[in-house]
Each structure stands twice: as structure tokens, then as C-alpha cells.
Amino acid sequence: MERMERFMLAGHNLGLDLMRATEAAALAAGRWAGRGEKELGDKAAVDAMRAILNQVRMDGTIVIGEGEKDEAPMLANGEKVGTGEGDKIDIAVDPVDGTRLLAWGMRNSIAVLAAAEGGTMYDPHMCFYMEKLVVSHNAADVIDLDAPIADNIRKAAKAEGKDVSEFVVGVLNRERHNDLVKEIRAAGAATRMFTDGDVAAAVAAATPGVKIDMLAGIGGSPEGVVTACAMKCLGGRILARLHPTTDEERRRTAEAGFDVDRVLDTNDLVGSDKTLFVATGITDGDLVDGVRYLPGGDARTHSVVMRSESGTVRWVEAQHHLDKVNAWRESHGS
């Protein structure tokens, strides 16, 4: 009980502390929107996020980071962040979810971060992709990853109180999803295709008032864990299954002890009921608005902070004096 109370007390302000990290990442990356330089935009976000994270009072470990797939020198899997004080916290970061969206100046690029009690996040580092199905709390009990998509749409639409013709499924725009898209439309539902930005679309599917009712298809496995933290806050549900893309990846994944045929539920992806999810918009999107750079050197950000323990979802608009932000970063070695 003592440990639970400490985490709750830390969690009271931890979400806002972590929001400062996503805000910093968004402010740094936003300057690169539409400039065709996704690596430079991502690096700017990583540097800014890391500088803030290391000031947060926590004993944090990056479980889901830039990692092997992105060949990142910082915020990589296993890296320690925070001051080393307080609770042990598992951290999942994506300083730019949608680097291509950022480079092209397109919608739905966000800076995102999730947290949970130490030792509770699933670590899918051996397998880059997973099959996913995400819905809101209304449809959480009716979906089945092994069922035809038409059945899932019909049951979820009924649970949402909608006609199938009003139902919208978010799908990553990839050739591998051509048949899935045909099946969704044949069922009578509409699709919302997105180029990148797996986390934003998944969270939008579980957020009331957003024009996506379900996310389906194959996307990044690290993003699936981040999504699970958000589902704990929203009451939604993610079902997933690892999806190796080569025989070698399947072999390595199996040798590491992962069952590639197992259906993973929300609780399998994050075992704690104490999670945080934070996102700040870089470009405008369905979930949050993008950074606005204002005359006089100021900027405005729009963020969402979710906390599972209290069930609160806070939408935060903040104005930043960039001269002070930059001076602070320089004084802290970033």
C-alpha cells in the first residue's frame, strides 16, 4: 500500500512534468515542418525531450525508445532518464510520431510519451511490427482480433450506437492493407487513411468526439505499447499480435521467448493500472493542434495529458516565451 501511495503522489504532478518534455520536443521539431528533413527534425525533438526528462524527479528507464529501428544515439531502449529519485518508472517515448508527416508538413505529427510503474511495460524490441485492433470503451468487450473485420465493425458500431454506414475505421495507407480496406468498405463502413502517425490514430479511435471509431491493421509494435498506456486512461482496448516480416525476424523473435501467434490484450502490453499518456501536437491533427509560432518570438502548443488512476483527460494550451526556453536548454547542456 505504501508503494501505491508513493506512485499516486508522484503521478499527481508527473503527467505535467512529462508534458513539459513533449512540449519541448514539439517546439524543437515544429521548426522543421515541411522542410523535407525528417532526420534533423527528429534529432531536434530527441535532444529537447531528453533535456527535460533528465530534470524530472523519477527513476526512469526507457523501455520503448528510438531504439534499434531508428539507430538513435539518445532515448534508446534501456537508457536511464530522470534524476534517479522517486519511483521506478517505465517510459515509452516517440519524440516525433510521424517523422514523414513532419518532413512533408502534413497533419497528425505529434510528440508522445507514456509512463507506467517500473517493470510493467511489454518490450517487443525483437519484432518491429504488430497487427492491431483498437476501439473505445463502448466497444471494448465485443472485438475479436481473429474475427473478420466485417464482424468487428458490425458489433462495434452497434456498441457505439451507430449505423455501420456511419462507422469510420482508421487504416495506415500501405499496400499490405489493400485487402483490409476492401473488406471494410464492403462491410459498409468508411475508411480514414493516414500516411503515418500510428499512435495519434489509435488514440483518436478511443477518444470521444474524434472522427475515427476503430483502428485496424499492421503498424509499429513499440507504438502498440504506447497506445496500451492510453487505453488504460481512456477505458478503450487494444488487441495485438506480433507480425514478423521475415523468416529471420520470426526466428529471432521466437528464440527470444515471444509467442508470435499469441493475441496480446491491453493488460499484456502494460501490466500496470497506473499509467500516463502525454502528447503535444507538432502539426495540426485529429487529436491535438500543432505548434503555432507567434510574432515576437513566442509559440503556442496544444497537449493532452491522460492519467489512468483518476480517469482524467486534460487538454492543455500553453504559450511559451522561446527566448527563455532556449536559454534554459542551453544552461542544461542541450
- Binding residue numbers for substrate: 97-99, 129, 174-176, 196-198, 220
The CATH number assigned to the domain with range 129-269 reads 3.40.190.90
Q: Which regions of 16-150 does DSSP assign to beta strands (E)?
A: 59-64, 80-81, 88-97, 110-117, 129-135
Region class of 152: left (phi > 0), else alpha (psi between -120 and 50), else beta: alpha
Name the residue among 291, 265, 243 with its Cα closest to residue 34. 291
Q: Where in the chain is the domain with CATH 3.30.540.10?
A: 14-119+275-332
- Binding residue numbers: 42, 66, 94, 97-99, 129, 174-176, 196-198, 220, 223
Task: For the chain, list residues with pLDDT below 50.
Answer: 1-12, 69-70
Q: Which three cell numbers stand for residue 87?
A: 519511483
Q: 230 CB contacts (<8 Å, ≥6 apart)?
A: 114, 199, 202, 203, 206, 236, 275, 277, 306
CB-hemisphere CA count at 13 Å for 150? 7
Number of neighbours of residue 208 by Cβ within 10 angstroms: 9
pLDDT, tens only, 274-312: 999 999 999 999 899 999 999 888 999 999 999 999 999
One-letter amino acid identity for 1? M
Kind of pairing between the strands at 129-135 and 237-242: antiparallel
Q: Which three cell numbers stand for residue 264?
A: 496480446
Helix pair 178-186, 149-160: axis angle to 10 deg:
50
How far apart (Å, rounded) are the C-alpha atoms in residues 117 and 236? 19
What's the pTM?
A: 0.90
- Binding residue numbers for Mn(2+): 42, 66, 94, 97, 223
Task: Assign domain 14-119+275-332 one CATH number from 3.40.50.300, 3.40.50.620, 3.30.540.10, 3.40.640.10.
Answer: 3.30.540.10
Number of neighbours of residue 310 by Cβ within 10 angstroms: 12
| pLDDT score for 5 | 38
